[in-house]
Amino acid sequence: MEITAKMLQYWRLYLLMLVLGIGGSFQYGIQLSLIVSPAEHIQSFVNFTWILRYGTPVAESTNQLIWSFIVALMSLGAWAGAIHSGSLPVTYGRKKALLINNVVAVVAALLMIFSRMLKSCEMILLGRFLYGYNVGLGLSVQLMYLTESSPKELRGFLTLTSAIFIGLGKVVSQIIGIKEMMGTEEMWPYLLAIGGIPAILQFVMLLFFPESPRHLYIDRGDTEGSKTALLWLWQDDNLKLELDDMQRELESTHGEKARTVKDLLTSRCVRWQLLTLTIPCAGSQFCGINALCFYAFDIFRESGVPDSQLQYWAIGIGATELITTTLCSFLIDRAGRKKLMGYGYLLMGVTMCVLTVTLSMKDRNPQIPYVNIALIFFVICIFGLGPSGVSFALPADILLQAWRPSAYVLIGTINWLSVFVIGMLFGYIVKGLGQFCFLFFVAYTFFSGAFVIFFVPETKGKTPTEITEEFNKLNYKSIESDSENIEIATKL
């Protein structure tokens, strides 16, 4: 009864989670998968506009290059959005930054709708860039906003919902993109514009929510406004512990304003947090999950799956990731971030080693292609249960308020540039190395898993101040050792 009452008490916080997820993570999931379904129609449209302008069909290599750029441009836009996630939420606040961001998505949707009418493929390019900007800024600010509004016992669960909404966005976009729905010649501009709907929904609903309590207290010094926001979100009069923790965090920063990316890269006091951000979290693209999904279609074809059914298998992959990430949300505050991410990476590495071996033996037995399919789904399950969700929750845990905006700039830069690089180069790597292309990802997963297990403190159930104290044992370990040696020498 007490647990049920506690859950009901936070119903407004859960509603905030839903509103933030609709416009950030869900939008990312949609844009990540939506462009795949109308690929044939968009390439045909590019050829059509080329003939109108130059009187001849576009060369196949040029058309492929334009298409690759359309797909990859979202990553560059997301990088631009991630860079601004270090300044806009600090200057205007988390809430206002998201409101501005939703306007960008609506403009992108309008460009997509009118692109065919105005016979302009450049409008599609600009729309993809703006969608990317919306995603890059929205994901970072969403996590800041939600983390700073959550009690520590729910922080892992609530931040993990970002991964759930990404998975949901992928599945929804894959479903509405099938030929029986919006994946047709007539409907593809409206399919590309579907991202405007969650942006409008978030803009309207976010107007009724308060600003982030920690932003009000620590960044603006508005104690009463912070308390009012907490009361509205938590519906709890006993907020002394939370307010005391915010005061300790404010004192630990000595009243300093938000730190820059340069400070993050050069300050000793966050050295191990920086390594945690860059290796297992921001670099999660190098675990090979997106590359594996790309390669999966070749494996499905080898197993006899017709091309007409590949989109339904893609829905299966998306649904698997969604289900396992949802399960992770119930495990993260029980098992802890360290175990789920560390052992998850190691198990992914082992499974991809086995997959590399079975791919090499695919012609020796007709049953092996089906084993390969099973291994693909197994890797996706492991990723969803551990690294996928924890990579969203951990960065929000390990840094204090002053460092958090610049941390998301760094995470976004590494993440989106790696998405761009992998998206542009992986096809060539597959042609050159075949099934052995996964060995690079295996090396990354083993290294990241070992790093998390041996060096990253557990953050479950701890406040940001307590987590910082744990990291300081690593950040200042050499200084402590030197002090001990000096003390011993003095005694001698």
* Same-fold call for 20-209 versus 256-492: yes
pLDDT score for 80: 92
pLDDT number for residue 486? 38
Tens digits of per-residue pLDDT, 307-361?
A: 777 778 888 888 888 888 888 877 877 888 888 888 999 999 999 899 888 888 8
pLDDT score recorded for residue 282? 65
Residue-level pLDDT at 5: 54
pLDDT of residue 457: 86
Closest CA to 340 of 448, 431, 427: 448
pLDDT single digits (tens) 47-82: 899 999 888 888 887 887 788 788 888 888 998 998
Q: Which amino acid is at 162?
A: S
Distance between CA atoms of 309 and 370, rounded to whole angstroms? Answer: 16
Question: What's the confidence (pLDDT) of residue 488?
Answer: 38
CA atoms within a 13 Å half-sphere pointing along the CA-CB vector of 38: 29
- 77-88 per-position pLDDT tens digit: 998 998 898 889
Domain boundaries, the chain: 20-209, 256-492
- Please report the pLDDT score of residue 130 as a whole number: 95
The reported pLDDT for the residue numbered 346 is 93
pLDDT confidence of residue 492:
37
| Class of domain 20-209 (CATH, top level) | mainly alpha
Check residue 253 and give its pLDDT.
64
Q: What is the greatest pairwise CA distance in the chain? A: 90
Contact present, 112 and 124 (Cβ < 8 Å): yes
Q: What is the pLDDT of residue 257?
A: 65
CA 113 to chain CA centroid, Å, is 27
Query: 341, 284 in Cβ contact below 8 A?
Result: no
Interhelix angle 337-360/310-335, rounded to 10 degrees, is: 150
Question: Can you identify the CATH homologous superfamily of domain 256-492?
Answer: MFS general substrate transporter like domains (1.20.1250.20)
Low-confidence residues of the chain, pLDDT below 70?
Answer: 1-8, 237, 253-258, 282-283, 294-295, 302-303, 393, 423-424, 426-427, 430, 478-492
Q: Hunting for tokens 């416009």 — which residue is that?
A: 23
What is the reported pLDDT for 108?
A: 96
pLDDT at 270: 86
Q: What is the pLDDT of residue 487?
A: 44
Please list, residue by residue across 94-104, b when 16 or more beta carbons sit within 10 angstroms of its beta carbon and e when fewer do.
bbebbbebbeb
N- to C-terminal Cα distance for the chain? 62
